[in-house]
Amino acid sequence: ACSGGGNDKTEGTKKEANGKNPAADRGNEIVVGINSDPQSWDPIDTFLLDWSTVAISVFEGLVERDLDLELQPGLAESWEYLDDSTLEFKLRQGVVFHNGEPFNAEAVKFTFDRLLGEEGQKGPQYSNYTSIDSVEVKDEYTITMKLNSPDPVLLTKLAGYGAVIVPPGYVTEVSDEEFNDKPVGTGPFKMTGYKRDQEVVLEKNEDYWKEGLPKLDKVTFKIIPEASTRLAELQTGKIDIMKRVEVAQTKTVKDTNFLKLEEVGTPTVFSLRFDTANAPLDKKEVRQAINYAINKDEIIEEILGGYGIPISTYQSELSFGNNPDLKPYAYDPEKAKEMLKAAGVAEGTELDVFIPGNDGNFKEITQAVAFYLEEVGLKMNINSVDNTTLISDLIPNGKAGHMYRQGWGGWTLDFDNTAYLMYHEGEQWNPSFKDEKVEELLAAQRTTVDQDERHKIFMELTTLLYDLAPEVNLYQAVDLYAVNERLENFQPPHEDRMRLEEVTVK
């Protein structure tokens, strides 16, 4: 597994000796506490990580990513490029949907027709798959996928949310609406109950194609938005796994004898991005100076309790295109001061920062950043605003001040996703950054499927971006899960997709 990176500030935690495990007699079923309800289970409607937490147990795609993010055959046993724009898949045989419908080439074709058709266009998934022109049935268990342009990350995308296979008979029979609430897939668990904003009940799929799996009889996901409440539920044994443990809560988890803390690095990275249209941030030197001024290690160490990983560019170490040779800007306030002075930035220059008000952790981080910047003579005004307004209005329209928080995962685990969206001129989340060379490299990596070639381009691109410093890259997020000791074989997922088929209870 990949590294988490946390370490304990309070080593040698004392656990309550007499704490009895309150969940001990729940039997062969578990309860998971998650923080939000995606509202719709239809894969083409969603882009929420929380969807995948549950839906990974219900749906499967042709290709899947295992817990270590390696691409694996899923419902397709194998695939090959017939040419640059044709891909052929051999499908797994003997798989049935939860409702008894057989899985076959028709189902795959139906799935993609739906995704790329009228219904799919209403949702956000459609745009990820526009490089697919059509899907054709070759025989019952073979399909070919025609592409209208080469797509180097297509296979990764096929492991994405929108490309999971849905049962054609069921979907046509029940309306689209009902499918939202009562999804049917081929996964290890079938959904037998869903109360919106309360709970989702999954039961073992007896006919699952992986031998002997799943091990659990039943999994219930409870939706508990408030972290404190989630922790309370965990402490009282009402849930076995708690998603999204806050750093502040880790001590309590570690102090409770029947709980263990699991940490895992995620693809999501957090940055304070610069709006380069605003002076003095139009100067590369100023941006670099700010990078030097901030002690990212201390932030990770102190505020995140060590649960964060330093990054050098706007991507995680999990991402294809990450450049391990680049080291994060060092903490050097003296140098920062000099550079600012050289760039003619006056002492006490004010910078507006926009952050979402509902992210408690980041609020603390921003305050620390403000503190560091003050040391080099910059004054930061922190505006905490409604998150939705920030991402859907302020950032796209360049109204987010000098700097704003952005977290980004790059769901394809390929730097293309991040880099293109963030640095290509005119993209939604790139209000002002523009660099000819960057544009060139971005275009170049999209025209080839040769991964080595692309890797080279990315190395060049990252070096360039590192120097241009369009943001302060703060850290790669580490997800924290708290788990009841009675669970075995639970491995925290890198990207929220909680795989539960191997999990057993003591």
Q: Is 2 in the site for Ni ion (CB under 5 A)?
A: yes
225 is a contact residue toward another protein (CB under 8 A): yes
Amino acid at 227: A
Q: Contact letters (x/-) for another protein, 267-306, by CB under 8 A? A: -------------------------------xx-xxx---
Q: Which is nearer to another protein, 274 or 411 (CB)?
A: 411
Residues 233-272 that bind another protein (CB under 8 A): 233, 235-236, 238, 246, 248-249, 251-252
**Which among another protein, Ni ion, none contacts residue 68 (Cβ within 5 to 8 A by kind)?**
Ni ion
Site residues (CB under 8 A) for another protein, limited to 71-130? 118, 121-128, 130
Query: CA 242 to CA 406: how far, in whole Å?
Result: 25
Q: Which helix (H) or strand (E) element contains residue 143?
A: strand 142-147
312 binds, among Ni ion, another protein, none (CB under 5 to 8 A by kind): none
Within positions 320 to 359, which residues make up the interface with another protein, using CB under 8 A? 356-359
> Using the rule CB under 5 A, is 3 a contact of Ni ion?
no
- Looking at residues 361 to 390 of the shown chain, list those that interact with another protein (rule: CB under 8 A): 363-364, 366-368, 370-371, 381-389
- Segment interacting with Ni ion (CB under 5 A) among 61-69, 97-105, 323-331, 436-444: 61-69
Q: Residue 457 — left, alpha, or beta (φ > 0 → left; ψ -120 to 50 → alpha)? A: alpha
Tell me how many helices (H) and strands (E) the chain has. Answer: 16, 19
Q: What angle do CA 240, 243, 247 make, to 5 degrees?
A: 115
Nearest 5°: the CA angle 479, 500, 31 is: 80
Q: Which residue in 23, 91, 224, 483 binds another protein (CB under 8 A)?
A: 224
Rounded Cα distance, 437 and 466, in Å? 13
Q: Which is nearer to Ni ion, 1 or 346 (CB)?
A: 1
Q: Which does residue 1 bind out of Ni ion, another protein, none, counting CB within 5 to 8 angstroms by kind?
A: Ni ion
Q: According to CB under 5 A, which residues from 66 to 85 bind Ni ion?
A: 68
Position 466 contacts another protein (CB under 8 A): no
Instruction: Give the count of residues interacting with another protein (CB under 8 A).
Output: 85
Shortest distance (Å) from residue 164 CB to another protein = 15
Taking CB under 8 A as the criterion, which residues in 166-205 touch another protein? 176-177, 180-181, 195-199
The CB-of-355 to another protein minimum distance in angstroms stands at: 8
Give dist(CA 355, CA 26) in Å, integer.
42
409 binds, among Ni ion, another protein, none (CB under 5 to 8 A by kind): another protein
Q: Is residue 443 at the binding interface for Ni ion, with CB under 5 A as the rule?
A: no
Contact letters for another protein, residues 401-420 (x by CB under 8 A): --------x-x-----x---
Q: Which of 289, 309, 288, 312 has its CA nearest to residue 300?
A: 309
Q: Which is nearer to another protein, 304 or 469 (CB)?
A: 304
469-505 burial, b if ≥16 CB within 10 A, otherwise e? bbbbbbbbbbbbbbbbebbeebbbbbbbbbbbbbbeb
47 counts as binding another protein under rule CB under 8 A? yes
End-to-end CA distance of the chain: 23
Contacts of 245 (CB under 8 A, 6+ apart): 227, 231, 253, 261, 480, 481, 482
Residues in 147-166 at the binding interface with Ni ion, rule: CB under 5 A: none
| Phi and psi at residue 247, to the nearest 5° | -55, -40
**Measured in whole angstroms, how far is the alpha carbon of residue 270 from the centre of its chain?**
12
Query: How far apart, in whole angstroms, are the C-alpha atoms of residue 495 and residue 483?
Result: 17
Question: Which residues of this protein are in contact with Ni ion, per CB under 5 A?
Answer: 1-2, 68
